[in-house]
């Protein structure tokens, strides 16, 4: 698979560091509010990369963090407030209750959108010792400094590569920030906090060598990604807005700590907008998964909708397009029910479709082209219905549209099948296992999966 690497500004082949195994870190949700479809589009990008790699036969280890401390309302302002604490105050709950509530909600929404679970969801609040240790390492290596208040800042001038990911190099930043009010304790405008001293009344705080405080947002992703994926891993994903400062600062931290490149490929997804507006938690102009359900739309259809646009492009959300996507997906499921069961062998024509689909996915996730192949396959008469069923069943590993849903629900064995099943049960009752096996083979030859249950032989289409 080839992906656009923000770091090199080129489309590059993923060559796993460990043979056959891709390790991927995804910046997860800040759990102070419900996720909206924009956040979920970005989580679906990581899911799509994973599904695409798995289609190629690679193993993927995916880590997605849960940000439950340290993400401030404005990372560049000294007066910013922790989003978690703000929400806790608003809702009259403890910060950890807020985290639990919204983490559970984002898991539900992700499942509804067919996002496969990551291998782990490490929480920032459960990795404070790792963040303190990393911060100490950066101090020891001359990349960070402690100020009187008990806060620790990263010294961006100590890291020559600062700006290589986002293009925000120090000369540009200095010019851009000249007139802005900055934290006077910082040596450079672009220095960012690794650890923040707890102000009066702050409830989420931990002991540290620099006094009571809490970690910066960026350090959590350095600490947790390297803890779970090692000091060199393959892919790191997030939305475009995270490129700077979050990921730029992560590069400075992680590479500053280990003295070599840590992440091979940085992948950033374009935002989702509604009527030209950016959908974001702070503006309130958001669409959530439950609204899809309330309108009678299948949340999985949102997957199809996102596939109509390349992942790096911004995308407009409209209800018309969403309804269109929903019609498409439901129609495909109906066709699948008509076509089942699956062919076991593919002809050259079917193989050709398969290759084109796989090529599109591997080509920097060119899903609009992949959908074109799907539509052409549905329409063609060069390929049998059973082959169509088999191909779409395989491709659904990437699409995640549950295309076999209706086929599963609708399907009934024919009279002939029922007769063979009954015959097989009689043979087995009579302990004539040779006959039983022969009947199993005949059912299997009809494209069926044969199961032995307490109630006797059961069959279903083999997909
Ligand atoms: P947050 O929960 O705010 O920390 O964001 C979680 C993820 O959603 C991050 O990767 C963001 O880059 C991404 N994100 C935020 N807003 C949007 C949007 N409107 N469209 C796509 N992704 C977004
Ligand atoms: Zn992150």
CA angle, 450 then 453 then 458, to 5° = 40
**Distance of alpha carbon 312 from alpha carbon 45, whole angstroms:** 10
pTM (2 d.p.): 0.89
Whether a cis peptide bond, with omega within 30° of 0, leads into 303 is no
In a domain? residue 11:
yes
- Same domain assignment for residues 439 and 370: no
Chosen domain end from 255, 273, 291: 273
Of 249, 268, 284, 335, give the one whose Cα is nearest residue 70: 249
* Per-residue confidence in pLDDT tens, the chain, 463 aa: 999 999 999 999 999 999 999 999 999 999 999 999 999 999 999 999 999 999 999 999 999 999 999 888 887 777 888 888 888 888 999 999 999 999 999 999 999 999 999 999 999 999 999 999 999 999 999 999 999 889 999 999 999 999 999 999 998 887 555 444 556 788 998 999 999 999 888 889 999 999 999 999 999 999 999 999 999 999 999 999 999 999 999 999 999 999 999 999 999 999 999 766 666 655 567 899 999 999 999 999 999 999 999 999 999 999 999 999 999 999 999 999 999 788 889 999 999 999 999 999 999 999 999 999 999 999 999 999 999 999 999 999 999 999 999 988 877 888 999 999 999 999 999 999 999 999 999 999 888 889 888 889 999 877 6
Q: Are residues 145 and 229 in the same domain?
A: yes
Atom of ligand 1 nearest to the CA of 41: 21
Q: Which residue lies with its CA nearest to atom 6 of ligand 1? A: 29
Name the strands in the sheet holding 152-154, side by side, starting at the edge strand that comes first in the sequence. 144-146, 152-154, 192-197, 213-215
pLDDT tens-place string over residues 305-353: 999 999 999 999 999 999 999 999 999 999 999 997 888 899 999 999 9
Give yes or no: residues 212 and 357 share one domain.
no
Q: Which of 28, 38, 277 to mutate to test the pocket of ligand 1 (most atoms within 8 A of CB)?
A: 38
Same domain flag for 419 and 390: no
Atom of ligand 1 lying closest to residue 26 CA: 10
Which residues, judged by CB distance below 6 Å to any ligand atom, belong to the binding site of ligand 1? 27, 29-30, 38-39, 41-42, 67, 238-239, 241-242, 271-272, 278-281
Range of the domain at 329: 319-403
Give the model confidence (pLDDT) of 119-139 as tens digits.
999 999 999 999 999 999 999
CATH number of the domain within which 201 lies: 3.40.50.620
Of 403, 423, 446, which closes a domain? 403
Same domain for 187 and 229, yes or no, is: yes
* Ligand closest in space to the Cα of 217: 2
Q: Are strands 456-461 and 272-274 parallel, antiparallel or unpaired?
A: unpaired
Of 351, 297, 355, nearest to 329 by C-alpha is 297
Q: How many domains does the chain have?
A: 3
287: in domain: no
Closest ligand 1 atom, residue 279 Cα: 19
CA 27 to ligand 1: nearest atom: 10
208 and 100 together in one domain: yes
Q: Which ligand is nearest to the CA of 272?
A: 1
Residue that finishes a domain, picked among 238, 255, 273:
273
């Amino acid at each position: 698979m080839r992906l656009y690497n923000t770091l090199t500004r080129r489309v590059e082949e993923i060559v796993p560091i460990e043979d056959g195994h891709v390790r991927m870190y995804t910046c997860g949700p800040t759990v102070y509010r419900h996720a909206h479809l924009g956040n979920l589009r970005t989580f679906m990008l990581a899911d799509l990369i994973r599904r695409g790699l798995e289609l190629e036969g690679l193993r993927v280890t995916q880590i997605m963090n849960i940000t439950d401390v340290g993400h401030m309302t404005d990372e560049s302002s000294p007066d910013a407030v922790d989003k978690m604490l703000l929400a806790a105050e608003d809702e009259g709950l403890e910060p950890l209750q807020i985290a639990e509530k919204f983490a559970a909600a984002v898991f539900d929404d992700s499942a509804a959108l067919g996002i496969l679970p990551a291998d782990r969801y490490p929480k920032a609040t459960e990795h404070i010792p790792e963040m303190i240790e990393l911060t100490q390492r950066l101090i020891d290596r001359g990349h960070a400094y402690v100020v009187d208040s008990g806060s620790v800042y990263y010294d961006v001038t100590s890291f020559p590569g600062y700006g290589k990911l986002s293009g925000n190099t120090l000369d540009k930043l200095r010019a851009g920030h000249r007139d802005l009010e900055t934290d006077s304790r910082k040596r450079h405008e672009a220095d960012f906090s690794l650890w923040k001293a707890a102000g009066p009344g702050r409830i989420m705080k931990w002991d540290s060598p620099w006094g009571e405080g809490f970690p910066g947002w960026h350090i959590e992703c350095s600490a947790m990604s390297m803890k779970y994926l090692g000091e060199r891993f393959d892919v790191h994903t997030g939305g475009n807005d995270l490129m700077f400062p979050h990921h730029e600062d992560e590069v400075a931290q992680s590479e500053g700590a280990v003295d070599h490149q840590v992440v091979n490929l940085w992948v950033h997804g374009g935002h989702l907008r509604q009527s030209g507006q950016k959908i974001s938690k702070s503006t309130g102009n958001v669409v959530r998964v439950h609204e899809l359900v309330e309108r009678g739309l299948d949340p999985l259809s949102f997957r199809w909708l996102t596939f109509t646009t390349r992942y790096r492009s911004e995308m407009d959300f409209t209800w018309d397009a969403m309804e269109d996507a929903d019609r498409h997906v439901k129609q495909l499921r109906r066709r699948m029910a008509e076509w089942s069961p699956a062919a076991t062998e593919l002809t050259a024509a079917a193989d050709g479709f398969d290759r084109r689909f796989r090529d599109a996915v591997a080509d920097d996730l060119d899903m609009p082209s992949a959908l074109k192949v799907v539509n052409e396959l549905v329409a063609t008469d060069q390929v049998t219905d059973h082959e169509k069923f088999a191909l779409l069943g395989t491709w659904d590993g990437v699409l995640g549209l549950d295309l076999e849903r209706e086929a599963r629900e609708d399907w009934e064995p024919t009279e002939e099948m029922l007769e063979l099943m009954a015959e097989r049960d009689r043979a087995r009752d009579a302990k004539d296992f040779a006959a039983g096996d022969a009947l199993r083979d005949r059912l299997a030859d009809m494209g069926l999966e044969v199961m032995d249950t307490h109630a006797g032989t059961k069959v279903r289409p083999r997909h």
